[in-house]
Each structure stands twice: as C-alpha cells, then as structure tokens.
C-alpha cells in the first residue's frame, strides 16, 4: 500500500464513522438511552474484536504522534482486553476510552445499534448493552417501540460493519482481538511510512 492510499483509506473509514455518529445523534434525540457517567463496562470485555482496517485511523494517529512504540510495549505486556482503556484505580468497570474519537466500529455500535430480529421475520431488534437494560429499561423499551412502530433509524450492526469493510476488503474482512488488530495496523502504517521515506531518499 502507498502512503496516499493509506491516507485515503483512513479518511474514508472516518467519513463512515462521521455518518454513523450523525445517525446515532439523531436516534438519541428520539430516545433517552445513555451511558452512565464513568461506565467502562464494555471496554473490559475480553471479546472486543476489530479489523486491521478499523484500527488504521488510530494507528496512523499514534505513529504521527510518536506514540506507537509505547503502545506496542503496552500490548506486549498487557493482558488487558483493550490497551487504550484507562480503568479507574479502584473500580476497573469504571474508566474511559483514551482514544474515543478513533475507536473502532464495534465500540461505536455497542449499545446503540440494531440487528435483524430473531423473533419476527423481516423485523428489527434494538440491541442495548447490559447496563442499559439494567439501568434504563423504559428507555430501552421506548427505543424498541419506536424502531418497530415509527421506523426509528437505528444503525444496523451488520450493515455498518459491511460499509466500513468495503473501504478495503483485504484489511476489513478478518476481525481479531482488538489489541492484535491494533498491533497489525501499527505494523502496516510504519511499513508504509518507511517505504515512502525510502522512495524519497537521494
Ligand atoms: S455502552 Fe453500556 S457498557 Fe458501554 S459505556 Fe455505555 S452503558 Fe457502559
Ligand atoms: S477502543 Fe476505546 S471504546 Fe473501544 S474497547 Fe478500547 S477503550 Fe473501549
């Protein structure tokens, strides 16, 4: 991959995320589902997965800022589900994403998306997170009601993943544990930059 292709790929993934964000913002004007302050429950799950493609915006940013080596070190040392999560010192289920603007698609959809209904053929089913279900059952029920009765636009998980994947099928098809996907994305960004610098060398 050439450097300009890498930059275009990153820009296109970010465009999809911006569109997704606008739709989720509109959804959240219609229903009051929200994350409780400080909640980091979903970032501690050991099964968060992403494609290398989705981690390219973050990897490019880390390389640009000279932070790639430090993040690689954290990946090598950490058994944590996601090395970009900063947990509260006394309550690991509370914390924050340190790279919120560049988080991958799954992190954006978690708790704020829908899927094809398993109960009603052709229907859609809102997929709240476990904390939303526990703490905001009325808002969750309202989202489902508006999805069914009013056609509320709730992004579909499979469709959103497919949209991003189509930016580059080779890099987007396979999903990996999030830290591994980030490590491979760092490898790719650094390789592309090295090749580009060598091609300009006298
Ligand atoms: S999506 Fe759910 S688990 Fe994740 S931060 Fe929000 S409330 Fe917490
Ligand atoms: S990228 Fe951010 S939102 Fe996603 S799992 Fe890691 S810390 Fe959580």
167: which 2 tokens? Answer: 């930016």
From the CA of 41, how far away is ligand 1's center (Å)? 6
200 part of a folded domain: no
112: which 2 tokens? Answer: 């704020």
117 part of a folded domain: yes
Helix (H) or strand (E) holding 37: none
Angle between helices 3-30 and 52-64 (to 10 degrees): 110
Give residue 123's domain range. Answer: 3-194
In the prediction, which pLDDT does 200 show?
62
Q: Is 118 helix (H, G, I), strand (E, B) or coil?
A: coil
Helix (H) or strand (E) holding 82: none
189 part of a folded domain: yes
Distance between CA atoms of 27 and 24, rounded to whole angstroms? 5
Closest listed ligand to the CA of 182: 2
Q: Is 107 in the pocket of ligand 2 (CB under 6 A)?
A: yes
Distance between CA atoms of 192 and 194, rounded to whole angstroms? 5
40 part of a folded domain: yes
202 part of a folded domain: no
Q: Is 82 in the pocket of ligand 2 (CB under 6 A)?
A: yes
* Mean pLDDT of each 10-residue bin along the chain, 202 residues long: 96 98 96 93 88 98 97 88 90 89 96 92 91 95 94 96 96 96 98 85 64
17 part of a folded domain: yes
In the prediction, which pLDDT does 198 show?
77
173 part of a folded domain: yes
| Alpha helices (H) along the chain | 3-30, 52-64, 68-77, 105-109, 130-135, 137-149, 157-165, 169-172, 178-200
7 part of a folded domain: yes
Domain count for the chain? 1
């Amino acid at each position: 991959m050439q450097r300009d292709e890498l930059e275009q790929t990153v820009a296109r993934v970010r465009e999809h995320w911006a569109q997704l964000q606008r739709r989720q913002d509109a959804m959240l004007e219609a229903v009051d589902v929200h994350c409780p302050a400080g909640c980091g429950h979903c970032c501690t799950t050991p099964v968060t997965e992403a494609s290398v493609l989705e981690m390219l915006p973050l990897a490019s940013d880390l390389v640009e800022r000279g932070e790639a080596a430090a993040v690689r070190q954290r990946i090598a040392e950490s058994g944590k589900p996601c090395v970009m999560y900063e947990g509260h010192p006394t309550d690991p289920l509370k914390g924050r994403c340190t790279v919120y603007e560049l988080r991958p698609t799954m992190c954006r959809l978690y708790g704020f998306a829908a899927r094809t209904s398993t109960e009603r053929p052709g229907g859609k089913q809102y997929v709240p997170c476990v904390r939303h279900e526990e703490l905001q059952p009325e808002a969750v029920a309202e989202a489902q009601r508006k999805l069914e009765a009013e056609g509320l636009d709730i992004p579909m998980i499979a469709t959103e993943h497919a949209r991003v994947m189509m930016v580059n099928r080779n890099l987007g098809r396979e999903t990996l544990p999030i830290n591994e996907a980030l490590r491979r994305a760092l490898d790719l960004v650094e390789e592309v930059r090295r090749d580009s610098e060598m091609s300009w060398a006298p």
